[in-house]
Structure 1
Amino acid sequence: MSIPGAEVIEVHRSIGHIHNSSQKDEGRHIVLRNVPEEIFTRLGSDLLLPIRHHLTLNHTDRGRCDLIDWIYKDPTRPDYTRIFLHYECTLKKYEKKFFTNTRLSENGSLIISNVTPENDGIYIVIVYNSTGERIQRDYYIVHVEGQVWSRIRHFLSPIAVFVFYTVLLIFIVNDLRKMKNEKNRSERKTRRRDQMEMEMEPTYYNDRN
């Protein structure tokens, strides 16, 4: 699977961290992976997407902290979604309502707890050291197994769910109306039969007069 890395790198232009991938970082091995790593996991399991360096994430000098950017891409959509950004010793979480089961470990690795169908997709991590050199870029393709119905439900929009339940409610109301009409017809037949039986009963007269 080809991943357009240029689009991912674009998110860093606003904070001025675009660097040539051939740069060297003194004392560290620079990891720049363009080949995605596929990971297969099951619903309800816990998953760790690792950072491959020991990073400085807390320091009294904000300029001494490393930068971590975790990005998610739904394979069915063209856009990218940022999950976490650790910048200048401050961690910010984005799209909280969509990534409720994600958090960062002490070294910045992404932890996904109790995996759901919504966690299926591509995860990208880009790491810069405090001098602004990119030292890691990894792609993780997460496949959540055992989710045939769950995946279908995942793609159902709120509107589709609303329409489904509306149609279901209409069917239930129609069935109740049919049952009520059947009951009314049955009661009318019973009353009509009783009336006819009463009319057919013989009348006896007293002949003593």
Structure 2
Amino acid sequence: MTSPAAQLESALTTTIEEKTARGSTDQLPPTHGWHPGARIGATAGLGALLAYNDDGSTGICNLENGRGTWLNLQSQGKEPDQDHRPYAVWRWMAAYNGRPACLMGRLAPGAARLELRASDGTVAEADVVDGTFAAEIAVDMVSLRHARERLEAHEAASAEGRAEFERLMADSRTEMTKVKVRVYDTAGALLYDGAAISATD
């Protein structure tokens, strides 16, 4: 099952069934009106598919081995601030434990193409569907090379474990700001060239 529509249907069904079974019916996503957007890792062990609804709701489907497993609704109101950059970030993740860095969200009106650029010159083109974008890039984030070992060196619930987790989050943010983004309009004109994420993402 690798088509975006099938992945979205699978994630939506699973989410509704599991939330209903737990009694979380006040947090159910809409059952109809969803459309698949951009995606990464379509058939990989872990991937993501952006989704949007006719009622204005948005979300990100978790993918596992080509199957949609869960739909996380996005908080409303996070639209692009076009005075600063022509896209809004819905999710970002730094590169660690062998996984690529990723950036997902919505492009502003007039923006048509987005690239991620690493300091070593590597460029990754985002998948863009109906104004949503999703991109991942293989990049060596030096301070995160041993992220798993750093976490496993402490009990997760201990003060040291929590402190190490906070340090890793800070390192992740620092490393992700080194990844650059370029956004172009439909004519190929450059609209933005800067850090992938800001302090508020």
Larger proportion of helix = 1
Using CA pairs below 8 Å that are at least 6 residues apart, which structure has the higher relative contact order? 1
**Normalising by the residue count of structure 1, what TM-score does the alignment of the two structures yield?**
0.28
- More strand by percentage: 2
